[in-house]
Structure formats: C-alpha cells, structure tokens
Amino acid sequence: MKTIRITLPQELLTKIDRTVAELDINRSGFALQAFEDALFRLWVAKMEQQHAEAYVRRPKNQNEMALRENIQDWGEPYAAR
C-alpha cells in the first residue's frame, strides 16, 4: 500500500471521526471503502451511459422483441394466495 496525504475541511474531518468511532474502524479503512465505493459508482454510471448510447445507435425494434417473446417460457403465472 502507498501512503497519501489529503487536505479536508475541519467540518468534514469531524464527521468522519465521529463515523469511524461509531463503526469501530480507522480513518484509512473508511477512506479506502469510500474511494472504492466512489469508483464503483462512477463505473456503474459509465456502463449505464454506454448502454443508453447503444440504444441510441441501434434502437430495439418490435420484430426483434417479438421473436424473443415467442421463445420465452415464464412458467405458470403467479397466483396470489
């Protein structure tokens, strides 16, 4: 692992310190999880954007979906009890 230095506003650091005390973890563990979570959210947003752009480039058509509907087997319909 590599050690880094970051500058944070005092108010944010106070909130972090309260949170890490409640969770019984250290600042480094908290920061590591926060960075990983942020990177994951950015990756998901990128994948969603690429997905949306793909539909703009090649919109689905009704014939394509009709072919799939004919081969889908959802089993017996759900019956409320």
Q: Are 2 and 8 in contact (CB under 8 A)?
A: no
% of the chain residues with pLDDT over 90: 60
pLDDT band at 56 (very low <50, low <70, confident <90, very high): confident
Look at the pTM and tell me if it is higher than 0.75: no
- What pLDDT does residue 60 have? 72
- What pLDDT does residue 61 have? 73
Rg (CA), the chain: 24
Q: What are phi and psi of 71, to 5 degrees?
A: -105, -5
Position 76, amino acid = E
